[in-house]
Structure 1
Amino acid sequence: MDLDTQIDPSPLITRKFSSRLSSIGGDDHDYNNEQSSITLTDFQRTASDAHISENSSSSIWRERILHPCTSMKIYFADLSSFFSWRFLSWLAIQNFAMYGGVSALVMSVSLPLFKEMGIDASKQQLYSTMTLSPFALKPFIGVFSDLFPIKGYHKRYLALISILIGLIGCSTLIALYHNRNAKEAALDPDTAYRLSDLLVICFFCMNVTAANLDILGEGKYSEIMRKHPESGSSVITFKFACSLLGSIVTNSYVGPLTDGGHFHIIFCIALGLLLTPFYPTLRGWLSEKKRRKSDPGMTKICCGCLFDQGSFQKKRTPFIVIALSGLAVPLLSAVTTFASLGIGIGVSMIVLLILATVTYVVFPRVVFRIIVAIMLIKISHIKLGGVLGYYYTADAQCLPDGPHFSYTYYITVAGIVGSIVNLIAVMLYQTYLSSCRFRPALMCTILAGAIAPIMDIILIKRWNHVLGISDKVFFILGSAIFEHFVNIVVALPMMVIFGKLAPPNMESAVFSYAVGIATFCFMMSQLWGSAIIKWSSMKTVGTDCNFDELPAIIGVCQILLPIIVGIPATLLIPNRLQTEPLIDWTKERWYEEQEKDENITESLTRVLEEESAEQEEGQCTEEVANEHLFT
């Protein structure tokens, strides 16, 4: 079967005033009185149906090996068949400027910034955990957006408020930090920690913008993925591609500016990136239907904010559970970062058990098994990025026999190469693995992820010199290419699972709940990695650094644990194709069906009460008639 003859490469999106698919791409007509209409030819329907058929997936796989250009035509045809161009444009801008821009910038600059102030690797990794904690707020933001439309919109004004928070944080950062402060802080540990704490709060606010815009977009496309599971992973790979393009641009200037000590310029660029999604968000490119006070179940609170009391009453318990799970994680991160690491780790384990228990009680069993699998897969890969960054960038005084990479090489050169590799990995995944079942896809990617850290061990042990390969060349071949390739391939099937978990009318809330738990587990792996670094004999700053235990720690935490724990955990996930629905919510009879049963019961009770009342009234009438007759 030649797929090249089945695809019409002409644009698929037309503009009409009515269409049977106008709701798929959103409600752009809210501000320009137009609706998105999608015209799908018979050839394109055949191509889309090919994704659904398991028997044809192998032939498609073979065809795509020989026809990469045809594969890209199929990809963009499928993508534009389900998502409007305004939403895709908003998603591209948001991921390029926020996820691949601001968030990548914050994470890249934190290593040289805190290292310059004398902060060790363990504390720097804790700061990174706190900086990333806004992404764990996603469950709370998802519930808020579902229940509290502002001026009639669930997402638009919440996104604008999030952008304002990021602008305030970045402006404060620019006013607060300057080179003289950093040099003075490096001489006094107490001053360094106080200044670092303030900088982390600013980074936190900047990531609030990236995280909130991310979950609002995810809630939108998860809604469309639930309605049209045949869309597969197309929007996920599109999102990742835009993020990676943004990270390529970000890495290109962060390294050289960092080596020059020009942190202020980096922060000013971040301020411009935070402004980028403002206009398309204000114009409603994140398309959604406007809610009104007259809508069923909707009540007005104050200041143009509405409350979807009807939806809340129907699913009160899940909404409360999801919202609280989102608030718990940042609070825990703050306690761990600014108080005690040991207490934070203990509390995090208790919170994890509570989340698992609540998931078992509130959600269907299939959701519980999937969430537990996500927990095990994420936790089994303990993060050691902080200590690895310190090792690779250590100077000759700290580590005489180290690689001594500059930030231009470590952040810019390796970062750009890694992002390009990630972009290629996204395209290869979409071409060859997007039609696979979830279990084999996850097992293969987890196994590859467990092999990747061997490259770090070889470089730390200096075995690459025995092979005659320089540090820079081996690092590019290992960490920058192989590890980046594996990391993105591992993340893609997980994001597809998140998108297919969402039930009707709770897309943002349940999607954010799954992503929030995954982020929480990622943060736990960060905390455990920080604790291992702190409690080991390694020393990461000063003039007598010691990284002797690092290879053994990598072997246990990043090679053995993922294989022993992560691979068996994939058996808890339904072994379905990525183009199929992951959960049949109608069959699960979760809340929607329970409400129907309750309504039927109430109706039957009401009928019985009316019949009983009629019988009693009839008996009373008969008794009165008998009394009159007797009289």
Structure 2
Amino acid sequence: MAESSAEAYYEPVKGDEDDDDEYVLPDDAGFTDYLLYPLRSGENFFARFTKNFGWRFAIQITVMYLLVKGLMMSVLGLVKLSYCKKTLKIDGSACQTMMVISSTPWAIKGAIGVLADAYPLFGYHKSSYILVSAVIGSIGLFGLATFPVTSAAFAAILLFSVNLEIATSDLLCEGKYAELMQSKPKTGSTMVSYVWGCFQIGSLIAAMFVGPVADHYDPKVLFWILLPLAVSIIVPTSLGYLADERVSPEKEGIDMELIKTYPYIVLFCVIMAVVAVGNAAIDIFFFEEHFWQMVYAISCSVLLSILAFLWLPRQLAMCNFYMFMASVLYLNISGAQDFWFTADEQCVPGGPAFDYTYYNTYTSIVGAFTGWVGVLIFQNFMSGWTFRTLFWVTTILQCIASAS
């Protein structure tokens, strides 16, 4: 890993220079000006981004949110249906259980964050954890691509390792760009728009080829395509583009002061991680026993909700509980639903019988374009809104969309 150099990876900006004007059309704009407006405004946006955060950090964020979270995570989400049906030959219920197990790393991000803050691995709070998780994720993808996997539980474990890379890298890159946003508040919306813009581009690229590949080939071939994407985050991170400075020798080791300052928050994050891993273990060893899966999930949800109100600041506990209830009440039957929409005539007479090109590619392309519309709306009209207003407006829109 590259040591910190004298050259800053993102230069400090004096005065109000970080609030450069966005590109606007000239007063006497002609047809060519309107035609080139998307190109010129995009060029202006990227110039402002690199000026305030540096080209190295821009590369780090681009690799993370275009290739890793955008492209790789989108392919994983799209390939699950064809992989379950064509390769593993399991039903919708088993496929959904497999995806719950594999997504466990997203539920332990709190513990990962605590660990990264409390213990600088090899002297770094973020970079080393990203590199280790990238190696683990790459090994998981290699196994998915090469091993003759027939067990849904084993496939879930390999997919768990891939999601561990994405979740860890996402969390620690988020932590770094949130730090920069705080130091440059006037550019906050620029960072958010850039991150989500990269993600939407990656999602669009994934949508274009996953469906046709799944229709004509073994879906396992897609894991070979993902392998270099998993490795890609290693390059900018090892070169120091995350700007994660090495801690001084006296600060190496466990930061007991942090743990003593926030004991209940740390303990809550650890318990939540243990519960999440326990849920994955229950799903693996009781793969077909949905009753016991439900009992465990409900019991742990009640426990965590009570502990949140006992140990966390009340505002944070209320926010967490609201988002938890919103997720619980937003019923997800995608596993069974996906199988029904793509079932053949013999399985579902008179059914839609969509192929993967239509179900994965065409619908996802529409989703990617609407996501881009959302990014443009946010950057141009909502970037100055308060978080509270953004939260309730987007929540209402989600409720309307799910009810339609």
TM-score after normalising by structure 1: 0.56
Aligned partners of 2:19 and 2:187 also within 8 Å: no
What is aligned with 2:5? 32
1:139 to 62, 86, 110: 110
Q: Provide the C-alpha distance between the structure 1 equivalents of 2:48 and 2:271, rounded to a whole number of angstroms.
A: 37
Residue 375 of structure 1 corresponds to 324
Distance 2:260 2:15 in 1: 43
List gaps (5 residues or longer) in structure 1: 1-27, 49-66, 182-191, 300-305, 456-631
String of CA shifts for 1:482-538, please: whole Å, max 9, x gaps: xxxxxxxxxxxxxxxxxxxxxxxxxxxxxxxxxxxxxxxxxxxxxxxxxxxxxxxxx
Show the 5 A alignment for 1:207-226.
207-226=163-182
1:95 aligns with 2:69: no
Contact 1:333 1:344 in 2 (8 A): no
Distance in 1, matches of 2:20 and 2:213, equals: 51
Q: How far does residue 42 in structure 1 lie from its aligned partner after superposition?
A: 4.5
Report matched runs for 1:124-523 at 5 Å.
124-177=95-148, 195-294=151-250, 298-299=251-252, 306-339=253-286, 340-453=289-402
- Offset at residue 43 of structure 1 (A): 6.7
SS in 1 for 2:242: coil
Q: Residues 226 and 379 of structure 1: is their aligned pair in 2 closer, same or farther, counting only changes over 3 Å?
A: farther
**How far apart are the structure 1 equivalents of 2:273 and 2:44?**
38
| Residues 46-57 of structure 1 mapped to structure 2, 5 A cutoff | none
| 2:55 equivalent in structure 1 | 85
Structure 2 residue matching 1:435: 3-state secondary structure = coil
Q: Compute the displacement of 1:424 (Å).
A: 2.0
Amino acid at match of 2:205: V
**Whole-angstrom distance in 1 between the partners of 2:73 and 2:153:** 18
Residue 390 of structure 1 and its aligned partner are, at CA, apart by 1.5
Q: Give the letter aligned to residue 119 of structure 2.
A: F
Q: Residues 140 and 327 of structure 1 are in contact (CA less than 8 Å); yes or no, is this contact kept in structure 2? A: no
The 3-state SS of whatever aligns with 1:95 is helix
Cα distance between partner residues in 1 of 2:122 and 2:284:
37
Structure 2's unaligned 5+ residue stretches are: 23-36
Q: Cα 1:349–1:401, aligned 2, differ >3 Å: closer, same or farther? A: same
Partner SS state of residue 4, structure 2: helix
Q: Between the two proteins, what is the percent identity of the paired residues?
A: 26
SS across alignment from 2:75? helix
Aligned-pair distance for 1:410? 1.4
CA contact 2:11–2:53 (8 Å) conserved in 1: no
CA contact (8 A) 2:197 2:375 kept: yes
SS of residue paired to 2:254? strand
Rg larger in structure: 1
Residue of structure 2 aligned with 1:110, choices 73, 77, 80: 80
The whole-number CA distance in structure 2 between the counterparts of 1:378 and 1:74 is 38
Distance 1:68 1:254, change over 3 A: closer
Deviation at 1:407, TM superposition (A): 0.6
Deviates more, 1:258-267 or 1:227-236: 227-236
Cα distance change on mapping 1:42 and 1:442 into 2, 3 Å: closer
Q: Deviations over 1:347-366 (max 9, x none)?
A: 22232233233332333222
Supply the distance in 1 between the matched residues of 2:307 and 2:174 (Cα, whole angstroms).
23
Cα separation, 2, equivalents of 1:278 and 1:404: 41
Q: Distance in 1 between matches of 2:20 and 2:155?
A: 54
Using the alignment, how far apart are the partners of 2:184 and 2:303 within structure 1?
33
Preserved CA contact (<8 Å) 2:141 2:223? yes
Cα RMSD, aligned residues only = 2.8
SS in 1 for 2:249: coil
Distance 1:122 1:329 in 2: 20
Sort the Cα spacing of 1:221 and 1:361 in 2 relative to 1 into closer, same or farther, 3 A: farther
Which one-letter code corresponds to 1:126 in the other structure? Answer: T
Deviation by residue 1:301-327 (Cα, 9 ceiling, x = unmatched): xxxxx2223323333332232233223
Q: Does the residue aligned with 1:38 lie in a helix, a strand or coil?
A: coil
Deviation digits for residues 134-188 of structure 1 (CA, Å, limit 9, x no counterpart): 11121121111111112211111111111110121112222213xxx7xxxxxxx
Alpha-carbon displacement from aligned partner over 1:47-71 (angstroms, at most 9, x marks no partner): 69xxxxxxxxxxxxxxxxxx98897
Q: Distance in 1 between matches of 2:389 and 2:47?
A: 27
For 2:89 and 2:143, how far apart are their aligned partners in 1?
A: 22
Amino acid paired to 2:200 = L
Supply the distance in 1 between the matched residues of 2:285 and 2:85 (Cα, whole angstroms): 18
Kept in 2, the 8 Å contact 1:104–1:247? The answer is yes
Given that 1:152 and 1:291 are in contact with CA atoms closer than 8 Å, whether structure 2 keeps it comes out as yes
Q: How many residues align?
A: 386
Q: Secondary structure at the match of 2:343?
A: coil
How far apart are 1:440 and its partner, in Å? 4.1
Cα distance change on mapping 1:138 and 1:45 into 2, 3 Å: same
> For the structure 1 residues 334 and 83, does the alpha-carbon distance in structure 2 shift closer, same or farther, using more than 3 Å as the test?
farther
Counterpart Cα distance in 1 of 2:212 and 2:330: 31
SS of residue paired to 1:452: helix
Q: Distance in 1 between matches of 2:6 and 2:213?
A: 46
Deviation at 1:370, TM superposition (A): 1.9
